[in-house]
Amino acid sequence: MLKWGIIGTGNIAHTFAKALQLAEKGKLVAVGSRSIETAQKFAQEFGIDHSFGSYNELLAFDQVDIVYISTPHPQHYEIALSAAKAGKHMLVEKPMAMTEAHIKSILETAKEHNVFVMEAYMYRCHPQTLEVVKLIQSGAIGQVKLIRANFLYDGRPLGPTSRLWINELGGGAIMDIGGYPMSFCRLVAGIANNKSGEYLGGGANPIKVKATGYIQPDTNVDEWSNASLEFEGKITAQLFTGIFADSDCSGEVWGSKGSIKIANLWRPDLAMYGPVRVEFTEYGKETKIIPIKQETNLYAYEADAVADAIAQGHHECKYMNWQDTLGQAHAMDAWRKEIGLKYKEDQ
């Protein structure tokens, strides 16, 4: 059993802690917060014995094998460096850090200290995503030509104190949710261009990134944006993200023989985002609905995939490996640059 410690006690930390209760290969043993009161409250809520009033105390605790870093994005960098130096494996929430330079440095430090690290794109570990991968690999839709992926939701009710609307906390749509469509298009292009037929992980890197978007002058964060990508193999993609609209977690892939449509790509744990299934159409024929059996929770799949990789002595997870995270970081920097979106980490 992998022994987990959680760093930060916000929204996703609660979701992940609940999921760990369902994971087969891991359990939550400790939590670290900036305040001891918050840590104790969280520990009580999840019935765990160890709570710490600083992240460094948790990192020094020898009963924890792996930390889940769930602070706002700009804080991931320093915490991940400290975690690696403390010899802890880590699952770092997406984006792994604010810039490609910071992400490179996290991966180098993890390598130096011989620890596992994964950027927490949880949907990559889910059977629905694996079904999409399988369909593309089987040649069912022929040669992939065009990809579309969206992640939008309404972040306005969260109000101005939410990290989502604060530039210093890495706010804005691209950094919060734009990374999902980017990572999906990269995954699909990577699978399409990998002729070995084996899922080796590692998305493709776009050879062109063009984008437009709207940066709110009051907050200096992007409220919406769309990007157009071009990949090798004559594959093009269009991504949409925004934090002002009804939720849209959908994606589509068009090939030379057929297409795939997914209603709820990112949050199959939440029915409000749409049904969990893959629609496959061979052009000119009736659409087939492929139901997806969820045997556990979305984040429990992720936690168990991490546990499997570590048990096999790997420092990366095949569903989101280091090469993929680096390519993702490069593409995300390019997207932001296209619309002039800047953070203090860019200096």
Ligand X SMILES: NC(=O)C1=CN([C@@H]2O[C@H](COP(=O)(O)OP(=O)(O)OC[C@H]3O[C@@H](n4cnc5c(N)ncnc54)[C@H](OP(=O)(O)O)[C@@H]3O)[C@@H](O)[C@H]2O)C=CC1
Ligand Y SMILES: O=C1OC[C@@H](O)[C@H](O)[C@H]1O
Binding residues (CB under 6 A) for ligand X: these are 8-13, 33-35, 38, 70-73, 75, 93-94, 120, 122, 163, 169, 176
Of 102, 114, 56, the closest CA to residue 77 belongs to: 102
Q: Which is nearer to ligand Y, 153 or 254 (CB)?
A: 153
- Contacted entry of ligand X, ligand Y, none for residue 255, CB cut-off 5 to 8 Å set by kind: none
Site string for ligand Y, 126-165 (x = CB under 6 A): ---------------------------x------------
| CA distance between the termini of the chain | 42
Task: Based on the shown chain and the rule CB under 6 A, indicate whether residue 222 belongs to the binding site for ligand Y.
Answer: no
* Residue 261, number of CB atoms within 10 A of its CB: 17
Task: Based on the shown chain and the rule CB under 6 A, indicate whether residue 269 belongs to the binding site for ligand Y.
Answer: no
**Quick check: 246 and 176 in contact, CB under 8 A?**
no
Task: Based on the shown chain and the rule CB under 6 A, indicate whether residue 177 belongs to the binding site for ligand Y.
Answer: yes
Q: Coil, strand, or helix at residue 204? A: coil
* Residue 283, number of CB atoms within 10 A of its CB: 12
Q: Which is nearer to ligand Y, 299 or 322 (CB)?
A: 299
Measure the CA–CA gap between 251 and 277, rounded to whole angstroms: 12
CA separation (Å) from 304 to 17, 46, 85? 13, 19, 24
Phi and psi (nearest 5°) for 183?
-70, -30
CA 152 to chain CA mean position, Å: 15
CA separation (Å) from 341 to 189, 206, 321, 325? 26, 19, 27, 20
- Contacted entry of ligand Y, ligand X, none for residue 75, CB cut-off 5 to 8 Å set by kind: ligand X
313: left (phi over 0), alpha (psi -120 to 50) or beta: left
Query: Nearest approach, Cβ of 156 to ligand Y (angstroms)?
Result: 13
Which amino acid would we find at residue 105?
A: S
Residues 98-127 that bind ligand Y (CB under 6 A): none
Strands 66-69 and 288-291: unpaired
Instruction: Write the DSSP string, 120-182.
Output: --GGGGSHHHHHHHHHHHHTTT-SEEEEEEEEEEE-GGG-TTSGGG-GGGT-SHIIIIIHHHH
The residue at minimum Cβ distance from ligand X is 10
Task: Based on the shown chain and the rule CB under 6 A, indicate whether residue 176 belongs to the binding site for ligand Y.
Answer: yes
Q: Which is nearer to ligand X, 144 or 320 (CB)?
A: 320
Q: Which is nearer to ligand Y, 172 or 255 (CB)?
A: 172
Measure the CA–CA gap between 281 and 237, rounded to whole angstroms: 19
- Contacted entry of ligand Y, ligand X, none for residue 177, CB cut-off 5 to 8 Å set by kind: ligand Y
Token pair recorded at residue 40: 């104790």
Query: Nearest approach, Cβ of 109 to ligand Y (angstroms)?
Result: 24
Q: Which is nearer to ligand X, 176 or 231 (CB)?
A: 176
Query: Nearest approach, Cβ of 67 to ligand X (angstroms)?
Result: 13
Q: Which is nearer to ligand Y, 15 or 323 (CB)?
A: 15
Residue count, binding to ligand Y (CB under 6 A): 3
Measure the CA–CA gap between 335 and 340, rounded to whole angstroms: 9
Query: Nearest approach, Cβ of 196 to ligand Y (angstroms)?
Result: 31
- Contacted entry of ligand Y, ligand X, none for residue 114, CB cut-off 5 to 8 Å set by kind: none
Task: Based on the shown chain and the rule CB under 6 A, indicate whether residue 97 belongs to the binding site for ligand Y.
Answer: no
- Contacted entry of ligand X, ligand Y, none for residue 34, CB cut-off 5 to 8 Å set by kind: ligand X
Query: Nearest approach, Cβ of 176 to ligand Y (angstroms)?
Result: 5
- Contacted entry of ligand Y, ligand X, none for residue 104, CB cut-off 5 to 8 Å set by kind: none
Query: Nearest approach, Cβ of 332 to ligand X (angstroms)?
Result: 12
Residues at the contact surface with ligand Y, assessed by CB under 6 A: 153, 176-177
